[in-house]
Structure 1
């Protein structure tokens, strides 16, 4: 059966990552370290037989994807289904500020209640999972038996890892999601597999994992 391989790349570092500030769907560009990480990921991927490049349309992902596109000689396709989770009232706050200002809401967020919709325009983990899995199945179906790259975000990768391993959304995180980390998954007949996760060997300075 044809196996579709998907390389998922988290965007490079931003100043808000360094500050542990929740970006969500606020557009924040890469900092100098993030641009260097994006170039490093692009150089590493240049030897891969990639036929298509997809990305979130948020600025930090777009900038990362544009570096990879130049290396692979591809034109990126921007898809909103690969955007970061909408964090509602937490967006623009640090994790510590979110916990202090909204303790009840933060407990539900930190406890990974799959159906907790973050107030003021946020998403639940289940809503995010549905959005992301639909997007992944769509690109996999469009490139059956081929290799593609998707540039995305930490919250998206958080649910992807659980999707491919068959773990519940509520389970504690037991894996890393570094900035500009390389993650390989595969799918055949709607059955997902995990090949490798959180690789940072291409980076001079290991990317941040500031997520809770």
Structure 2
């Protein structure tokens, strides 16, 4: 089997529970892990000891970086922050309530396939999909035949991973809410991406 068709296994996890300087409004700040979040990362890492994780990757946002640093230390591997895996930016909507109807409308449009809509001062859905897919592909290309842990974010995971190869897996879209440290197992080879398991739930109470 060529390296191209030898799959890389990406364990893509939402970061641990986090705290923020402005918790009641939308923002793009990185936040930091709470005590609960550190416990969640530690518990997750304990379930992965038999997976022979080769490296940990994270988005550049601090809550993911801290999750990766803690997990990597427990697994005895390196942690590397990479561009492309961050949560989508709220742009000019920063400072508005979390249930802001304009943001909800854009995200709903993305989830229904209108990837040309954009968050004011932020990204289009098409750009989010492209930069996230590119980041996952670059990681996979470095780890054919290996397993890596990747810390990302709930919104971008829910939106992008069901459609990374252009086809929408409706069963994943319908389970959009992701718990902290929930893991989606993704295999990447020369034929593209395959989501093998998904931690999402239709119950918003999980987040």
Structures share fold, TM-score greater than 0.5: yes
Q: CA deviation at 1:209?
A: 4.6
- Residue pair 2:88, 2:156 contacting (<8 A) in 1 also: yes
- 1:3 touches 1:145 (CA, 8 Å); kept in 2? yes
Shift of 1:87: 1.4
Alignment partner, residue 123 of structure 1? 123
C-alpha deviation, 1:46, in angstroms: 2.3
Q: 1:165 to 1:178 in 2, by over 3 A?
A: farther
Partner of residue 33, structure 1 = 36
The DSSP-based 3-state class of the residue aligned with 1:51 is strand
CA distance in 2, matches of 1:199, 1:44: 18
Instruction: Using the TM superposition, give the Cα deviation of residue 92 of structure 1 relative to its aligned residue in structure 2, in angstroms.
Output: 4.3
Counterpart of 1:4 (choices 8, 30, 33) is 8
SS at 2:135 equivalent: helix
Cα 1:127–1:199, aligned 2, differ >3 Å: closer, same or farther? closer
Measured at CA, do residues 47 and 71 of structure 1 come closer, stay the same or move farther in structure 2, by a change above 3 Å? Answer: farther
TM-score, normalised by the number of residues in structure 1: 0.80
SS across alignment from 2:39: helix
Is this contact kept in 2: 1:165–1:194, CA < 8 A?
no
* Distance across 2 between alignment mates of 1:172 and 1:188: 21
Where 1:198 maps in the other structure, the secondary structure is: coil
Q: Once superposed, what is the RMSD of the aligned Cα atoms?
A: 2.8
- The normalised TM-score by structure 2 is 0.82
Q: CA contact under 8 A between 2:172 and 2:200: conserved in structure 1?
A: no
Partner of 1:64: 67
Question: Are 2:77 and 1:74 equivalent residues in the alignment?
Answer: yes
For the 8 Å contact 1:184–1:194, the answer to whether it is kept is yes
Asked whether the 8 Å contact 2:179–2:199 carries over to 1, the reply is yes
Cα distance in 2, alignment partners of residues 2 and 59 from structure 1: 32
Give the number of aligned pairs: 194
Give ranges in structure 2 of 5+ residues lacking alignment.
none
CA shift for structure 1 position 21: 4.7
Shift of 1:106: 4.4
Partner Cα distance (1:20, 1:110) in 2: 22
Q: What are the ranges of 5 or more consecutive residues in structure 1 without an aligned counterpart?
A: 201-206
